[in-house]
Amino acid sequence: MEDIVIIFKEKPKLKDPILVEGLPGVGNVGKLAAEHLVDQLKAVKFADIYSKYFPPQVLVNDSGTIRLVCNEMYYVKRPEAHNDLIILIGDYQGLTPDGQYELSDKTLKVAKELGVKRIFTLGGYGLGKMIEKPRVLGAATDSELVEEMKKNGVTFSKGEPGSGIVGASGLLLGLGQLYDMRSVCLMGETSGYFVDPKGAQAVLEVLAKILAVKIDFTELESKAEQIDMITSKLRDVEPQHEPKKEDLGYIG
C-alpha cells in the first residue's frame, strides 16, 4: 500500500487559503482548539488521510460502526475575507520520526497544491504546574511575522520553548520553509497533565483575532469547568509531587 493514502471527497477551489493545524499533543491544546474552530466555522471536510505511520487501529462509534484512525482536512470559504481556511485535525500524529516527516511533507504538498502560503500550527507548551491564565507563546519562520504576532498578544520569550517544537506543529513550519511558506506556531501554556480546554481557548482567542473570525467559547469554557472540578478533587486526594522534567518539554 502507499505509505500515506489521501481520499479526497472534493478538491475545493480556495482563495489564498491559510492552513491551521491542530493535532494531538501536550494537553491536547492544539487538537481541542482546531476542532472547536471546525465546529464554530462549520468547516467542510474534503479529505481523509490514512497512513501506515498511524497506529493499526479502528475507533468504534457509539452506534457500533467503526472508522480507521486518520487525519482530516476541512475547508472554510470566507467570501467576506481575504483568505479562505484549511483546517487539519486528526486522531494521531505519526508514530515514528520518519512518519512525522512523511506526513508533514505530504500535508504540505496538498497545501501547496491548494494555494496555501501561510500556516498556523496550534500546540501546547507544557509547564509542569497548574496555571491560572495561560499565555500564548509563539515561534515563526521570519522576524516580520514575529513582530506581527507580538502585536496580536503573542509572547515571544527568549529560551522558551528551550527544547524547540517537536511534532507536526514544528515540522510544518520547518519543512514549510522548503515550500516557501511563512508560518507561525501558537502554543498555549498548559500544565500538560490533563486535556486542557483553557489552553486551547487562549490559543484560539489569539488566532480568532488574527484571522478575524468570531468564535463562541461557551463549549470550551464548560469543558474547562469540568476539568477544573476533576483536578481540584484530585488535588484534595493526591499528595503533591514534582513532575518529571522530560514529560513537559514536548509540544505537539
Options 6, 44, 45, 50; binder of a second copy; rule CB under 8 A: 50
Residue in 245, 250, 252 with CA at minimum distance from that of residue 128 = 245
Q: Which of 79, 132, 143, 239 binds a second copy (CB under 8 A)?
A: 143
Closest to a second copy by CB, 98 vs 247, is 98
- Residue 125 found at the interface with a second copy (CB under 8 A): no
> Which residues share a beta bridge with 72?
48, 89
Least separation, in Å, of the C-beta of 214 and a second copy?
A: 28
The C-alpha cell at 151 is: 502585536
Using the contact rule CB under 8 A, the part of the chain among 13-21, 37-45, 139-147, 225-233 near a second copy is: 139-147
Q: Is 12 in the site for a second copy (CB under 8 A)?
A: no
Determine the longest span between alpha carbons in the chain, in angstroms: 55
User: Number of residues in contact with a second copy, rule: CB under 8 A?
Assistant: 58
Report the nearest approach of a second copy to the CB of residue 116 (Å).
17
CB atoms within 10 A of CB 118: 18
Closest to a second copy by CB, 84 vs 99, is 99
Check if the beta carbon of residue 45 is closer than 8 Å to that of residue 9: yes
When asked if residue 65 is in the footprint of a second copy (CB under 8 A), the reply is: yes
For the chain, the straight-line distance linking the first and the last C-alpha, in angstroms and rounded, comes to 27
Q: How far is the CB of 156 from a second copy (least distance, A)?
A: 4
* Residue (81 or 210) nearer to a second copy, CB: 210
Please say which residue, 101 or 217, places its beta carbon nearer to a second copy. Answer: 101
User: For residues 16 and 98, which CB has a smaller minimum distance to a second copy in the complex?
Assistant: 98
Residue 180 grid coordinates:
516557501
User: Does 218 help bind a second copy (rule: CB under 8 A)?
Assistant: no
Give yes or no for a contact between 188 and 133, defined as CB atoms under 8 angstroms apart.
Answer: no
Q: Yes or no: say if 126 and 193 are a contact pair by the CB < 8 Å rule.
A: no
Calculate ∠ Cα 212-251-21, nearest 5°.
Answer: 35
- The amino acid occupying position 97 is P
The site map against a second copy for 162-191 (x = CB under 8 A) is --xxxxx-xx-xxx-xx------x------
Which helix (H) or strand (E) is 149 found in, with range?
helix 143-151
| C-alpha distances in Å from residue 79, one per residue of 83, 84, 85, 125, 216 | 8, 8, 11, 34, 20
Our finding on whether 28 is near a second copy (CB under 8 A) is no
Contact footprint for a second copy (CB under 8 A): 1, 3, 5, 7, 50-60, 62-69, 94-95, 97-102, 104-105, 138-143, 146, 156, 158-161, 164-168, 170-171, 173-175, 177-178, 185
